[in-house]
């Protein structure tokens, strides 16, 4: 008898309205971020961080090295372009 109850519960599972709304909002914002990452110009601080990624080190004068290492990785994966520069920035 418990097996039938379990099957009934799982067969009637539906996605709630708030879940659908949040999923659509997330997809829209992600698309918007990707569009702006490609169409906007590179800022001075982004170019500054990118120059770090061209000469990797274990530490830098004014920042920890993780940003430079991530930019070097995205530069390797996506090439030297605005999308590759900004995808690692989060």
Distance (Å, whole) CA 41 – CA 82: 8
pLDDT over 60 (residue 14): yes
Q: What whole-number distance in Å separates Cα of residue 41 and Cα of residue 29?
A: 19
Whether residue 35 is found in the same domain as residue 51? no
What are the pLDDT digits (tens) for 48-69?
888 888 999 888 888 888 888 9
Record the tokens describing residue 31, joined without a space.
């698309």
- Structure token digits, residue 44: 């001075």
11, 30: one domain:
yes
Domain count, the chain: 2
| Same domain? 53 vs 27 | no
My answer on whether 21 and 48 are in the same domain is: no
Question: Do 34 and 55 share a domain, yes or no?
Answer: no
- The angle, 0 to 180 degrees and rounded to 10, between the axes of the packed helices 66-78 and 44-54 is 80
- Do 21 and 62 sit in the same domain of this protein? no
Containing domain of residue 82, as a range?
41-90
Q: Output the pTM of the full model.
A: 0.65
């Amino acid at each position: 008898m418990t097996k039938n109850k379990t099957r009934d519960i799982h067969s009637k599972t539906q996605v709630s309205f708030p879940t659908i709304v949040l999923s659509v909002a997330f997809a829209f914002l992600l698309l918007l971020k990707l569009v702006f990452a490609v169409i906007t110009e590179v800022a001075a601080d982004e170019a500054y961080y990118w120059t770090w990624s061209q000469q990797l080190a274990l530490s830098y004068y004014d920042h920890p090295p993780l940003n430079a290492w991530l930019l070097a990785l995205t530069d390797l994966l996506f090439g030297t372009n605005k999308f590759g520069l900004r995808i690692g920035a989060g």
